[in-house]
Amino acid sequence: MKRILLRGGRVIDPENKRDQKLDVLIANGTIAEIGQKLQLDESAGKVIQAEGLWVMPGAIDMHTHLREPGQEYKETILSGAQAAAAGGFTSIACMANTSPVNDCAAVTRFISEKSQLAPVNVFPIGAVTIGMQGKQMVEMAEMATAGAIAFSEDGKTVEDSNLYRHAMEYAGSLNRIIICHCQDNYLFADGVIHEGEISSTYGFPGIPSLAEEIDIARCILLAEFLELPIHIAHISTRGAVSLVARAKERGVKVTAEVTPHHFSLDHRAVADLYYRDEVEYAMKRQFSCFNPNTKMSPPLREPEDVIAIKEALAAGIIDVIASDHAPHEQTEKEVEYQYAPFGIVGLETTIPLTMNLVREGVLTPVKMVERLSVAPAKILGLSRKGSLEVGMDADVTIIDPEVQWVINKDNFRSKSSNTPFDGWRVQGKALTTIVGGEIIFAADGQV
Partner 1 sequence: MKKRIFPWKDLLAIRGLHEDDITLILDTAESFKEISRRPIKKVPTLRGQTIINLFYEPSTRTRSSFEIAAKRLSADTINISASTSSVVKGETLLDTVKNLQAMAPDIIVIRHGCVGAPHLIAGQVDARVVNAGDGANEHPSQALLDLLTIREHKKVFAGLRVAIIGDIVHSRVARSNMHALSIFGAEVRVCSPPTMLPLNMNGFPGVKVCASPEEAIEGVDVIMMLRIQLERQDHTLFPSVNEYARRYGLNRSRVGLASNDVIIMHPGPMNRGVEISSEVADGKHSVILDQVENGVAVRMAVLYLLGDKSE
Residue whose CB is less far from partner 1, 43 or 282: 282
Q: Residue type at 129?
A: T
How does DSSP assign 359-384, residue by residue? HHTSS-HHHHHIIIIIHHHHHHT-TT
Least gap, CB of 265 to partner 1 (angstroms): 18
Give yes or no for residue 286 binding partner 1 (CB under 8 A).
yes
| Contact between 283 and partner 1 per CB under 8 A | yes
Contact flag: residue 290 with partner 1 (CB under 8 A)? yes
Task: Name the residue nearer to partner 1 (CB basis): 273 or 406.
Answer: 273
- Comparison of 28 and 288: residue with beta carbon closer to partner 1: 288
Least distance (Å) between residue 190 CB and partner 1: 9
Q: Does 195 bind partner 1 (CB under 8 A)?
A: yes
Task: By CB under 8 A, name the one of 110, 151, 263, 337 that touches partner 1.
Answer: 337
Among 200, 383, 408, 411, binds partner 1 (CB under 8 A): 200
Helix 303-315 and helix 350-360: axis angle, to 10°?
Answer: 80
Nearer to partner 1, 159 or 311 (CB): 159
Q: Rounded to the nearest whole angstrom, what is the least distance from the CB of residue 414 to partner 1 in the complex?
A: 23
Q: Interface with partner 1 includes 202 (CB under 8 A)?
A: yes
Residue 275 found at the interface with partner 1 (CB under 8 A): yes
Least Cβ distance, residue 267 to partner 1 (angstroms) = 11
Binding residue (CB under 8 A) for partner 1 from 169, 272, 304, 334: 334
Q: Among 273, 315, 406, 447, which residue sits at the site for partner 1 (rule: CB under 8 A)?
A: 273
Closest by alpha carbon to 318, among 240, 216, 217? 240
Q: Does 306 contact partner 1 by CB under 8 A?
A: no
User: Site size for partner 1, by CB under 8 A?
Assistant: 32
Helix (H) or strand (E) holding 330: helix 330-333
Task: Identify the helix (H) or strand (E) that includes residue 258.
Answer: strand 254-258
Coil, strand, or helix at residue 101? Answer: coil
Sole window of 97-105, 211-219, 336-344, 422-430 interacting with partner 1 (rule: CB under 8 A): 336-344
What single-letter amino acid sits at 372? L
Among positions 233-262, residues that touch partner 1 (CB under 8 A) are: none
Three-state DSSP state, 123: strand
Rounded CA-CA distance 74/63 in Å is: 17
Q: From its phi and psi, is residue 251 left (phi > 0), alpha (psi between -120 and 50) or beta? A: left
Q: DSSP states of 292-314 as a string?
A: GGG--SSPP--HHHHHHHHHHHH
Enter the DSSP assignment of 15.
G
Minimum Å gap between C-beta 258 and partner 1 is: 23
Taking CB under 8 A as the rule, does residue 304 contact partner 1? no
Q: What are phi and psi of 380, to 5 degrees?
A: -85, -5
Residue 169 interacts with partner 1 (CB under 8 A)?
no
Q: How far apart are the first and last CA of the chain?
A: 15
In the residue annotation, 324 being an active-site residue is answered as: yes
CA distance linking residue 234 with residue 261, whole number of Å: 10
Strands 59-64 and 89-94: parallel
Asked if 303 touches partner 1 (CB under 8 A), the answer is no
| Residue 392, CA atoms < 13 Å, CB-side half-sphere | 24
Catalytic residue among 23, 154, 324, 393: 324
Best CA proximity match to 220, nearest among 246, 186, 196: 246
Q: Does 173 bind partner 1 (CB under 8 A)?
A: no
Residues labelled catalytic: 324
